[in-house]
Structure 1
Amino acid sequence: MEFYSNHKLLFWSALVFFLFLTLQIAILPAIQNQQVYQPLPDAKPLTKAEQAGKDLYVANGCIACHTQQVRGIDQDKPFGSRPNIPADYAMNQRMDVWRNTANLLGSERTGPDLTNIGERQPSVDWQLLHLYQPRAVVEQSVMPAYQWLFKEKDYLEKGDIEVKVPEKFLQNKFKKVVATKDAMNLVAYLLSLKQLKLPDGTKPPEFLYKQKEKAAATGGGTALPDGGEIYNGNCVACHQANGEGLPGAFPPLKGSPIVLGDDLKLYVTIIMKGYDPRPQWATMPNVGTAANFTPEMVTALINHERSSWGNTAAPVKLEDVKKIMDEIK
C-alpha cells in the first residue's frame, strides 16, 4: 500500500497520533485534576525558607528512604489522623521548568513516613539533633548523619542556634555545634509537613483493617487510652523508652520532681503548652496542643509516666486534669 511506502505520511501520521494520545492521556486529565482537586481551606504555600528546605530535601536524597503518604491501612495510622487524599497535594508546584518533583510521595520506608512530622515531632531542637547525629535520639537508626549542615565554633555569636548534642556524640567536646542556614531551612520544611483537617462536614476516609484500641482502666473505673502507646507515639523520641532522656539534650522523666510532684497544673501545662527549661536542656514544644490531646489522653500519659521506670507516684484523676485543661486554654 502507498501509505506504508510513503515515509513522510508515516512520520506525520505517527506524530499526530502521538500528540492526540498525549492530549487525551496526560494533558486533559491533568487539567481536569487541577480543576477538581482544590487545596484544603487551611493550606498555605511554602515560605521562602521552607521552599529552600524542600530543595535541600530533594538534593540530599531524603525521598529515597522517607515517604509522604499515609495509606488507607491501619498500620499507617501512627503517621496521620487519616489516609491522604489528592487535595492534600493540590497546592504543590513544580520545582522549575525541568523538574516535576512537587509531590515527594516516595515508595520506600527505610525511615518513617513524614506526612505529619511537623505535628508528630514539632521540636526544632530534636530535629536539629536528629540531622546532626540520628543515633543520638534513635539508637538503632540507619540514617546517615548530615553533619555538613552544621558548624563547630569555639564560642557562640549573636543569632547562632546551638544544637544540644550529648557529649558522647561530640567530635570535639570543647566546640559548640551551630546550625547553618541550610539546616534551619531543612527543619523549617520538615515542620511545615502537617496533615490538614478536612472541611467541616467532610468525612475522612477510614483506615482499613482497623485494630481494636487498647484501653486501661484507671481511677474510679474510668476507661482511659493506653498511656504507654501515647508516650511511645509522642514522647519517646526525646525522653527515650527508659525514661532517662538524653544527657545534655532532653531531661529524664525517671525520678523527675515534676513527674513525681504534686503540682499537677504545672505538669499538665508543660504537656499542653511546652516548656523552656534551664540552659542545659532543649526547649520542649507544645506536644499536647499540637497532637490535640484530650483530657483522657493527658491523664493516661501522666499516669503512665508516674508509674514507669521505677516511678511510684499515685495516679491522677481525670476530673482534675479536665479542670486544669479548661483553666489553661
Structure 2
Amino acid sequence: MSIFHDHKKLFTLATALFGTLTLFVAVFPSLYNQENSAPLYGSVPLTEQEEAGRQIYISNGCVGCHTQQVRNVDMDKTWGSRPGIASDYAYSTRKSIWQNSGTLMGTERTGPDLTNIGDRQPSQDWHLVHLFNPRTVMPQSIMAPYPWLFEIKDKAEKGDIKVNVPEEFLHGQKGVVVATQDALNLVAYLKSLRQVKLPDGTPDPIFLYKIEKAEATAAATGAPVELNGSDLYGANCMACHQQNGEGLPGAFPPLKGSKIVLDDNPEIMVGIIMNGYNAREDYGEMPAVGTNANLSAEEIAAIMNHEKTSWGNNAKKVTPDQVKKLMELAKLSAPKP
C-alpha cells in the first residue's frame, strides 16, 4: 500500500486514529461522568485553607506514593468502609479549560491510601509530628521527612502551633519546632479526606474476594469469633501510642504502666476511647477513636484487653457486655457539638 511509503499520510492517519480513540475512550466518558455524578449528600467542598493544603500536597509529590481510591477488593477494607464510587470525586471539577483540578486518585500505594485518613487519624498533633519526621511515630516508615514545612525558633510566639518533636530527631538543633502555615494547610487538607456515608436505603458497593477465615473456622466449630486485639490496636492506636505501648514523650502518653489502663474500673478508659481526651500542655489532644472509627463493643473490648495484658501490664480484662454499658454512658457524657 502506497500509504506506508508516504510518511505524511501515515502520520496524519495515525494522529487522526489516536485522536478519535482519545475522544471516545477518555474525553466523552469523562464529560458524561462529570455531568451525571452529583456530590453525595453530606459531602462538602474544600475550604480555602483545605484547598491551599491540597496544592501543597500536589507540589510536594504526595500523590506519587499515596492513593485516594478504595478498590472493591477485600484488602482495601483497611482504607474505607466501602469501595469508592464516581460521586466521591464529583467536586473535582476543572479550574479552567486548560487546567484540571485532578482527583489525586494516584496509581502507587507505596504509602497507605488516604481516602479516609481524616477519620482514621483526625489528630492534628500526630500529622504535624509525622510530617516533620515520619520515623518519630512510625520507626519502620520509608516516607521522606518534610522539615521545610516547619521552623525552629528559640521561643514560640503567640499564635504559634508547637510541634512536640523528641530531641533525638532534632539532630543537635536547639529550640522549639513550630508549624508553618503551609504545614497547617496540608494537615487541614488531610483531615478533610473522609469517606461520606451513602444515603439511607442506598446499598453499599460490595467488597469482592472476601477473606472470612475467622468466621469460617468459627462456623465450623460452633465457637464464637474471637477478635484479635493486637491487630485492632495496630489499626487504631499504634500510630500514636507505638508498638511498645510507650507512646512518644511530650506528644502521646504511654499505655505501658498507665494508671488508667491498669485500673480495674474501665469507665474512664472507655470514656477516653469514645470521646477523646485533651491533656492540654502535657500531650496532644486525643481524638474520639472509638466514635470516629465506629468501633463495636467487641472491638473496643479486644483493644482494651490487649492494652491491659501487654508490655508488662497485668490488669483485669473487660467483657464486651461491660464495654457496651459504658459506651452508652460515654455517649451521654460526650461534649455537645
TM-score (norm. length: structure 2): 0.87
CA contact (8 A) 2:67 2:108 kept: yes
After superposition, give the CA deviation of every residue in 1:150-186 in whole Å (9 maximum; x if it has no partner). Answer: 0111111111100011121124564000000000000
What residue identity is the alignment partner of 1:232? G
Say which is worse superposed, 201-210 or 118-127, in terms of deviation.
201-210
Task: State the partner residue of 2:69.
Answer: 69
Q: Kindly state the Cα deviation for residue 275 of structure 1 after the two structures are TM-superposed.
A: 0.9
Verify: 1:188 aligned to 2:173, yes or no.
no
Query: Are positions 1:116 and 2:88 aligned together?
Result: no
Measure how far apart 1:69 and its partner are: 1.0
Gaps of 5+ in 1: 1-9
- Cα 1:17–1:68 change in 2 (3 A) is closer
* Aligned twin of 1:262: 264
| Letter matched to residue 267 of structure 2 | K
Give runs of aligned pairs for residues 1-329 of structure 1, distance below 5 A: 24-172=24-172, 174-212=174-212, 214=214, 223-277=225-279, 279-329=281-331
Percent of matched pairs sharing the same residue: 55
Equivalent pair of 2:264/2:315 in contact (CA under 8 Å): no
Q: Check the 8 A contact 2:74/2:210 in 1, yes or no.
A: yes
- Deviation of 1:18 (Å): 8.4
Measure the CA separation in 1 of the matches of 2:34 and 2:55.
Answer: 23
| CA distances 1:8-60 after superposition (whole Å, capped 9, x unpaired) | xx999999998876665555433321233211111100000000000010000
Query: Cα distance, 1:98 vs. partner?
Result: 3.4
CA distance in 1, matches of 2:14, 2:145: 51
SS in 1 for 2:233: helix
Aligned residues: 325
The amino acid across from 2:110 in the alignment is T
| TM-score, L = length of structure 1 | 0.89
Higher mean displacement: 17-26 or 73-82:
17-26
Question: SS of the counterpart of 2:162?
Answer: coil
Match of 1:5 in 2: none
Provide the rounded CA distance (Å) in 2 between the counterparts of 1:321 and 1:20.
61
Q: CA deviation at 1:97?
A: 4.5
**Distance apart, 1:226 and its partner CA:** 2.1
Matched residues in 1 for 2:14 and 2:319: separation?
Answer: 75
Separation of aligned partners in 1, 2:12 and 2:208: 50
